[in-house]
Amino acid sequence: MEGKTSLFLLSWFLTISLVFSECPNGCTCPTSTQVDCSGAAITEVSDFIPENTKTLQIFNSRVTELTDSPFQNLSVLVILRIERNELSQISSGAFDSLVNLRYLSLSNNRLQELPHGLFKNLERLTTLLVANNQLSQIHPTVFTPLKNLIDLQLWGNNLKFIPQGIFDQMHSLLKLNLGKNSLTSIPANSFEKLAKLQALRLYENKLREIPEGAFARLGDLTELGLHHNQVRRLPAELFSNNQNLQKLFLSNNLISALPRGIFANLPELSRLTLFGNAFGKITVGVFGPMQKLKELWLYDNQLLTLPNNVFSNLTQLQLLSLSRNKIHSISSNAFNGLNELLELSLHTNALTNLEEEVFSGLPKLQNISLQNNKLKSLPRKLFRKLSGLKNIQLQNNSLGKLPPGFFEPLEHLNEVKLYDNPWRCDAGIHFLKRWILLNQLKLGNSSQVVCSDPPLLRGQPISDLNDDPSSLGTAATTINADSAVPEDIETPGSTTSYSQSSGNPMDETSPLLLFGTTTEEIESSFVTKSSSLPSPEDGRKRGLWGLTSLQSGVVIAVIVLCCLALLCTLIVCGLYKRKKSSHVELRMKQPNEA
């Protein structure tokens, strides 16, 4: 029994050691056909790689050279990956026996050239990766044998030009990546034989122009990356044969104009980046119908205006970014057709005003950013048809006031930013103050929304002002104050201070404190804050509320009339309600009346 067991163990041991003896020194062999020689200890390719090896990989090692010998008998090798080594020399016959190789990666090495004839027997190769090396040129015929290549990655080298005809035999190529090189131009016929090409990446080069017809034979192209180059001009017909294009990246170039019709025939486009260029305008007819385009990025250009209907073919667009341009005017119908738009970004432009109807064709809009413009005022009905609006950014503009009822149609509002505007805290601020008090949470920190004018109120949070319009309490104060500031009083130090005129805000003679205004509110009101008292000079130049005497006169007259009307209404109401319900009357009573 014991002898049998030890015999079994011995034979088992022999089998194992036999298998492992096949594995080269310092390497591991996960299966009998896979060899992995990775790690810093490896400095050259072993001469003892088993002939039946199908996969050989050497990662993160210090191999500097490939000679002919180690690969000589590896005719069944399918995958060879020598990545992240220090490879700088390859013998031109190194791969001669690898007639079954399908996948070859030499990425992340220090290759400066690919010797002529290197790939002469690799007819079956489908993937060739030589990314992140130091190739500065490629021999015009080195790729000629690679008739079955599907994926060629040459990005991250130092290629300065594409030799004539270099890709002409690659009839099966689907992906070609030439990004991150130093290409300054591409021959017009470079890609003309790549009839099956689906992805062409030319980003991060130094391309100055793209020749007419460069992509004319690429009818199957779905992705084209031309971003981060120095292209100034695009031929109008450049994409006219690329009806299957889904992604087109043109951002970060120097393109100064988009010719009419350039995107007219791209019905499958779902991604288009145009930001970081130099367009001064977009003309009508640039964008054809694109049912799949959801986002359009146009920020960081030089746009000055937006003409009517310019986006009207982009009926499925959800996001339109036009920020950081120089837009000073937008035609009323510029956004026509954007029925699905959810987010519109117009911040950091030069807008001073907006047409009332400009957003009326955006029924689904949720977010709009208008900050960092020079908007002085906004039409009352600007957002009238945008009942789904959730997020409005209006900070850092030149807004002195907003029209009453401005936010009224907006039932779903979540966030409104209003700070960094020169709010004018005169009688017209009532609406805004009331709205702020009712919607503090939507403003984030409402105490950042402060008055800029009149000077004595500068820095005062609007929400702290005592001007609840439902009470008109401050209107009464205004009467007192203004009547105490006759225009002709010029004596310095004359008693034109607000604390005096409003010294008794609880004045029994003011019938208008009836609703809701509590003693506390009045005491915290701006009129009693000594820190914000004006200098006599301020008082002389501009009356209370910063009005001229003529304006003051009109205001007073209007207010007196209003007061009278309100008083009458009150009396009538009071009589009527007393009859109807004594409960209501209790609520109307002023605490200090009780």
Ligand X SMILES: *[C@@H]1O[C@H](CO)[C@@H](O)[C@H](O)[C@H]1NC(C)=O
- Shortest distance, CB of residue 437 to ligand X, whole angstroms? 16
Burial class (CB in 10 A: 0-12, 13-18, 19+), 576: exposed
- Shortest distance, CB of residue 533 to ligand X, whole angstroms? 21
Q: Which two tokens mark 465?
A: 């002002």
Closer Cβ to ligand X, 92 or 230, answer by number: 92
CA dihedral sign of residues 302, 307, 312, 313: negative
Which residue type does 329 have? S
Closer Cβ to ligand X, 327 or 429, answer by number: 327
Binding residues for ligand X, rule: CB under 6 A, are 47, 69, 72-73, 264, 284-285, 287-289, 309, 312-313, 342-343, 366-367, 372, 374, 391, 396, 445, 447-448
Closer Cβ to ligand X, 24 or 276, answer by number: 24
Is-contact 360 382, C-beta < 8 A? no
Helix/strand/coil percent split, the chain, to 5: 20, 10, 65
- Phi/psi for 224 (5° steps) reads -135, 115
Q: What is the DSSP string of 107-129?
A: -SS------TTTTTT-TT--EEE
Kind plus residue range of the DSSP H or E element containing 575 = helix 549-580
Among 324, 326, 322, which Cα is nearest to 344's? Answer: 322
Among 458, 396, 401, 440, which Cα is nearest to 421's? Answer: 396
C-beta neighbour count of 569 within 10 angstroms: 10
Which residue type does 552 have? S
Closer Cβ to ligand X, 169 or 367, answer by number: 367
- Shortest distance, CB of residue 390 to ligand X, whole angstroms? 6
- Shortest distance, CB of residue 270 to ligand X, whole angstroms? 17
- Shortest distance, CB of residue 264 to ligand X, whole angstroms? 4
- Shortest distance, CB of residue 250 to ligand X, whole angstroms? 18
Is-contact 381 405, C-beta < 8 A? no
Q: What distance in Å separates the CA atoms of residue 309 and residue 299, rounded to the nearest whole number?
A: 19
Is-contact 152 142, C-beta < 8 A? no
Closer Cβ to ligand X, 279 or 287, answer by number: 287
Closer Cβ to ligand X, 195 or 350, answer by number: 350
Q: What distance in Å separates the CA atoms of residue 336 and residue 229, rounded to the nearest whole number?
A: 32
- Shortest distance, CB of residue 245 to ligand X, whole angstroms? 14
- Shortest distance, CB of residue 569 to ligand X, whole angstroms? 39
Among 220, 175, 225, which Cα is nearest to 195's? Answer: 220
- Shortest distance, CB of residue 199 to ligand X, whole angstroms? 25
Kind plus residue range of the DSSP H or E element containing 564 = helix 549-580
- Shortest distance, CB of residue 411 to ligand X, whole angstroms? 16
Closer Cβ to ligand X, 20 or 48, answer by number: 48
Among 461, 394, 414, 397, which Cα is nearest to 433's? Answer: 461
Q: What distance in Å separates the CA atoms of residue 439 and residue 437, rounded to the nearest whole number?
A: 6
Closer Cβ to ligand X, 99 or 563, answer by number: 99
Q: What distance in Å separates the CA atoms of residue 39 and residue 44, rounded to the nearest whole number?
A: 11
- Shortest distance, CB of residue 516 to ligand X, whole angstroms? 26
Is-contact 205 181, C-beta < 8 A? yes
Closer Cβ to ligand X, 47 or 507, answer by number: 47
Closer Cβ to ligand X, 67 or 590, answer by number: 67
- Shortest distance, CB of residue 229 to ligand X, whole angstroms? 26
- Shortest distance, CB of residue 131 to ligand X, whole angstroms? 29
Q: What distance in Å separates the CA atoms of residue 216 and residue 232, rounded to the nearest whole number?
A: 20
Closer Cβ to ligand X, 98 or 513, answer by number: 98
Closer Cβ to ligand X, 125 or 334, answer by number: 334
Return the SS3 of 351.
coil
What residue number has its CB nearest to ligand X? 288
Q: Which two tokens mark 208?
A: 């100055």
Strands 295-297 and 223-225, sheet pairing: unpaired
Residue reference for tokens 């990662």: 59
Closer Cβ to ligand X, 50 or 454, answer by number: 50
Q: What distance in Å separates the CA atoms of residue 540 and residue 552, rounded to the nearest whole number?
A: 13
